[in-house]
Amino acid sequence: MLRTIFYKVFPMKQSILIILSALILVSCSEEKKRYSIRLFSPSHKTSISFLLSPGGTPGYCVQYKDQIIVDSSSLGFELKETAPIKSDFEMIGNHLDSLNENWEQPWGEQRIVNNHYNELTVNLREKIEPHRLMNLIFRSYDDGVAFRYEFPDQEAMREMTILEENTKFRLKEDYTCWWAPGDWDITEHLYTNSLLSKIDATKKRNQPSLGQTYIPDNAVNTPLTMRSKDGLHISIHEAALVNYSDMTLKVDTANLQLQSSLVGSDRLGYKAKVQVPFKTPWRMILLSPNAAGLVDSRMILNLNEPSKVKDVSWFKPMKYTGIWWEMHLGKSSWDMASGKHGATTANAKKYIDFTAKNGLGGVLVEGWNTGWEHWIGFDDREGVFDFVTPYADYNLEEVVQYAHSKGVEIIMHHETSSAPQTYEKQLDKAYALMKRLGLHTVKTGYVGKILPKGEYHHGQWMINHYQKVIETAAKYQIAVDAHEPIKGTGLQRTWPNFVSREGMRGQEFNAWSSDGGNPPDHLPNVVFTRMLSGPFDFTPGVFNIKLKPYKDKNQVSTTLAQQLALYVVIYSPVQMACDLIENYEGQPGFQFIRDVGTDWESSKTLAGEVGDFVTIVRQEKKTGNWFLGSITDENARDISVDFSFLPKGIEFTADVYKDGANAHWDSNPTSLQIDHVKINSTTKLDFHLAPGGGLAIAIKK
């Protein structure tokens, strides 16, 4: 009977083939008791089914081929003033759609992105008063599924004050998980590997070195990456997070169930307030038979709307240096009162000279503006930072002119100290100054507890702030690299000027963290978790691995070869060479940083296992050269690379930067061997990665 309904409502342009392939009755457990419609992906690998229980509770389930991955799970909301959205719904209509198009990124992991999906919209209405309307939109891609709630314009509900979103994920098996504790303020926790049934995120609270932590429950942040016993890789995240709160996932270890738990606001007493019509972010589940497939998925971008910024020719992906690492090492300071101010005119010119000489693009200058004397540890941070007034020993105009005369960009820095209202007041003035000076990139920062008190970095109020910054920046032709940001949800498709962000423990933790910094398996974890959310300004390139003479108790826990490999493994359109410039002088390995691209025609993950190792190859857009990066965790590894990704019949020179004899992240991190070999598409080579090691190859025509 359901079938007949569907035939009637299908638009005539839909081909019968799609209809037949898209709709087949489901077989998730309890299905016989429910209405259901199964939506297949274009080549039938994945499917998501809409379910409606006899009591009118909407739900869904997810399958990969014939395997159930997420079993029948209910959907709904708890609202402040009105009855929950939960049950008593009937289906009053539905619509099937599909798309197969290629679109072009202005910059990115790959130029052309294929967006191929089938979509089902289900129109629901409450059978009882006040007859509220809700649509569910489902999409199936070959690399995963997604769904979102939509509230159409209606008399019955003008506004929603959401106390909780009750989206459940009833997992079919006790998956192996790579999880980071749910946190309302930061995403700078290390990932832990355990079975779902063993997750205890509350134990991971209050890690040393973390400014703020708020975890109400046993909840995890997304992306949450999982693996089934059969080796299917699954990652739950969200896409297009706008005017809503971040979704953490509450873990019910006994029932192998996750449930959305939105970040709240103690000040406002709810989790999100929205005007109807309204659409939630997409709840997205990547599905891949191997770990590499997660990394190569572009579903998160495809779930976002096309670009709203017409002209982005003013931004070019770049490598940059900066007055930055020296502050993290304690060699200099952000503030001027300390007597060892880093951001002086003379120091900036030194960095500009180095950057110009080595053909890199930009110089970041932190600590250039007044306010830093009143930064960390102060509660009264409103009105302190000034985003247009330089310190007396920093001549902003002179530095910018000098940089431009050498073809170098100055990257502006705005540390808000988590006083976003102070920043918003100055936003237009600060961006107008940048525009007048011809500066097109700003790194923002949100260190500390949010003011006003009771707001959190990942709540709706702050998400609207981050969005306002992006949209205002776009008007002034400014690209934003946000630190202490909201997590990535693919919005860079719509707002390409949101070029990069931190949102994970970056290199800086190696300089000062009291927990020993980032362990050797940090980045092999991050590639398959945090990086699934988008570009990451990790700031690689430390050559002075042991940080001598500045830090006795800290170090970087990788080899030098791995630091080079990170320029390929981590994707970001702004990629820092973060070490003190004196540490690059006379270093043969630095040639790789000079050569490596930042903007890609295509990218491919050749091999990898979550938390263990990964090998990624990318082709540079401008030159057509290829770059390969491979990294391993604390375990040494032998890998073999098949160069058949290269075009046939062309000879290339490969500059190979590999771990030298006896290299080891701790005992011998800087042992680096550089070879030059001729290769073509039939070449196969074996490489040894040291513990905490890596491999970087520049492949030139």
Name the site residues for ligand NOJ (rule: CB under 6 A): 324, 366, 415, 445, 447, 483, 502, 508
Q: Measured from the CB of residue 108, what is the shortest distance to ligand NOJ in angstroms?
A: 23
Where do the H-state alpha helices sit in 317-443?
325-329, 345-357, 396-405, 420-437
Q: Which is nearer to ligand NOJ, 45 or 501 (CB)?
A: 501
Say if residues 545 and 288 touch (Cβ distance below 8 Å). no
Strand arrangement, sheet containing 77-79? 77-79, 159-165, 272-275
Question: Shortest gap between Cβ of 636 and ligand NOJ (angstroms)?
Answer: 31
Q: Which helix (H) or strand (E) holds 688?
A: strand 684-689
Smallest distance, Å, CB 695 to Ca ion? 17
Q: Which is nearer to ligand NOJ, 173 or 366 (CB)?
A: 366
Taking CB under 5 A as the rule, does residue 612 contact Ca ion?
A: yes
> What string marks each residue from 615 to 634 as x (binds Ca ion by CB under 5 A) or -?
------------------x-
How many residues of this chain bind Ca ion (CB under 5 A)? 4
- What secondary structure letter does DSSP report for 690? P
Contact 522, 480 (CB under 8 A): no
In the bound state with ligand NOJ, the residue whose beta carbon lies nearer, of 409 and 508, is: 508
Check: CB of residue 639 under 8 Å from CB of residue 687: yes
508 is catalytic: yes
Q: Closest separation between CB of residue 324 and ligand NOJ, Å?
A: 6
Question: CA dist 143 to 232, 291, 395, Å?
Answer: 11, 12, 51
Nearer to ligand NOJ, 372 or 687 (CB): 372
**Taking the alpha carbons of 168, 173, 179, 181 in that order, is the dihedral positive or negative?**
positive
- Rule CB under 5 A: is residue 484 a binding residue for Ca ion? no
611 binds, among Ca ion, ligand NOJ, none (CB under 5 to 8 A by kind): Ca ion
Instruction: Tell me the CB-side half-sphere exposure of residue 82, using CA atoms within 13 A.
Output: 14
Partner that binds at residue 508, options ligand NOJ, Ca ion, none, CB closer than 5 to 8 Å by kind: ligand NOJ
Taking the complex as a whole, the smallest distance from the CB of residue 514 to ligand NOJ amounts, in Å, to 16
In the bound state with Ca ion, the residue whose beta carbon lies nearer, of 31 and 634, is 634
Q: How far apart are CA 261 and CA 271, in angstroms?
A: 9
633 binds, among ligand NOJ, Ca ion, none (CB under 5 to 8 A by kind): Ca ion
Residue 612 interacts, among Ca ion, ligand NOJ, none and using kind-specific CB cut-offs from 5 to 8 Å, with: Ca ion
Instruction: Name the binder of 483 from ligand NOJ, Ca ion, none, CB < 5-8 A by kind.
Output: ligand NOJ
Nearer to Ca ion, 55 or 231 (CB): 231
How many Cα atoms sit within 13 Å of 343 on the Cβ side? Answer: 27
**DSSP state, residue 497:** T
- Output the smallest distance, CB 447 to ligand NOJ, in A: 5
Q: At what angle do helices 396-405 and 345-357 cross, to 10 degrees?
A: 10
Q: Which of ligand NOJ, Ca ion, none interacts with 606 (beta carbon under 5 to 8 A by kind)?
A: none
In whole angstroms, what is the distance from residue 23 CA to residue 3 CA? 8
Residue 109 binding target from ligand NOJ, Ca ion, none, CB below 5 to 8 Å by type: none
Which member of 366, 409, 415, 521 binds Ca ion (CB under 5 A)? Answer: 521
Q: Which option in Ca ion, ligand NOJ, none does residue 502 bind, with CB closer than 5 to 8 A by kind?
A: ligand NOJ
Three-state DSSP class for residue 135: strand
Which of 182, 611, 692, 693 lies at the binding interface for Ca ion (CB under 5 A)?
Answer: 611
Pair 492, 485: CB distance under 8 Å = no
CB of 411 to ligand NOJ, least distance (A): 12
The alpha carbon dihedral of 454, 455, 456, 458 has a sign of positive
Give counts: helices (H), strands (E), the chain.
13, 36
For 478-508, b where at least 16 C-beta lie within 10 A, e where not — what string?
bbbbbbbbbbbbbbbbbbbbbbbbbbbbbbb
Amino acid code (one letter) for 462: M
Of 109, 326, 484, 508, catalytic: 508
Please report how close the Cβ of residue 341 comes to ligand NOJ at its closest, in angstroms.
14
Residue type (1 letter), 436: R
Compute the chain's Rg from CA coordinates: 25
Least gap, CB of 480 to ligand NOJ (angstroms): 14
Residue placing its CB nearer to ligand NOJ in the complex, 185 or 620: 185
CB of 599 to ligand NOJ, least distance (A): 23
CA atoms within 13 A on the CB side of 393: 14
Instruction: Say whether 445 sits in a helix, a strand or coil.
Output: strand
Contact 563/542 with Cβ under 8 angstroms? Answer: yes
Please identify, using beta-carbon distances, which residue of 372 and 613 lies nearer to Ca ion. Answer: 613
Judged by beta carbon distances under 5 to 8 A according to partner kind, the member of ligand NOJ, Ca ion, none in contact with residue 415 is: ligand NOJ
How far is it, in rounded angstroms, from Cα 75 to Cα 84? 11
3-state secondary structure of 490: coil
- Name which of 173 and 335 has its Cβ closer to ligand NOJ: 335
The interface region with Ca ion, picked from 359-367, 454-462, 520-528, 677-685 by CB under 5 A, is 520-528
| H helical segments located in 438-498 | 460-475
Give the count of beta carbons closer than 10 Å to the beta carbon of residue 166.
Answer: 17
Question: With respect to ligand NOJ, which residue has the nearer C-beta, 10 or 324?
Answer: 324
Answer with the entry of Ca ion, ligand NOJ, none that 183 interacts with (C-beta below 5 to 8 A by kind): none
**518 interacts with Ca ion by CB under 5 A:** no
Which helix (H) or strand (E) segment is 334 a member of? none
Q: Which residues are part of the catalytic machinery?
A: 508
Q: Which residues bind Ca ion (CB under 5 A)?
A: 521, 611-612, 633
